[in-house]
Structure 1
């Protein structure tokens, strides 16, 4: 029964699917064709738009927004006020924390962690178990690969690549098109400019 799973003041439009065991809280909105599956949680004033699938065990928290065609998979978490935009994907066990923004067609992979206030821009990819920390910015088309880390306040520009296990540290800037290669590190407040490459040289 919908009365058992949608609280007073929640809004469920025509064609919405909210399955047994899902929880849609006060003031939340689930639009036409969206789906909140078994065990999903859509918090107070959260907004789930047309065609979105919110899967088993997902938490979409207070005031979060999941936009048209976005996908938030099993066990993923979208924190207070976070935004997952058109066509973006947050995979199993990934976390987009309070106030994070995941842009159109961006991809946050298995177990990845996007912290408070981070911007993952349109079409960017954050790989398995990668970490993008407080206030960092990952621009359009960037690849942050498996296990890589972009630390507090760091900036990775359009089309740049941070490869497996690499680290871009606090306040560092990696500009348009460079590559920070496997297990390389860019130190605090360092700047790597257009087209440059940072790599670990063999001994």
Structure 2
């Protein structure tokens, strides 16, 4: 069925399901553009764009989707555009694709950040746990032994990482600060020893 015929065949039944002069005006001004997969695309001319909210109202959308879908024999999703040409729809799809790419990249970054946080949180907790199990913590030689152990723990987690992300650096800094507190050692010295042995200076 032609998209114009489909819209015209559905319009009266859609109107019977909604109320309001502005909603009816918006429906009368809407121009069917295309049926793309499960998207039924309609648009408004620039001078009618103020009516877009009426078409996107949940009740209006449901009426359009159900009435159009009933005639097609499948479920559809209505998409309301600013514009009435197929080029407007192609441009909208490009924007959708770009927005999806950005969302995907953001999700991947967040996934890496969470994974990184988990790794360094494990280091932080391991160091805190081992410190709690140490005896005679105040002795300088025991602080030195614990410092060596902390550096070994950090080195284990640094190995195999070619680069450290900004989040890695921040998390590592937090660990180093804690080691410095536990061992009464300047954090810069802890960092120096760790990075020197990791070959990262």
How does the TM-score come out when normalised to structure 1?
A: 0.22
> Which structure shows the bigger proportion of residues in helix conformation?
2
Point out the structure with the larger strand share.
1
The structure whose RCO (Cα within 8 Å, separation 6+) is larger is: 2
Alignment TM-score, normalising by the size of structure 2: 0.23
Structure with the greater alpha carbon radius of gyration: 2
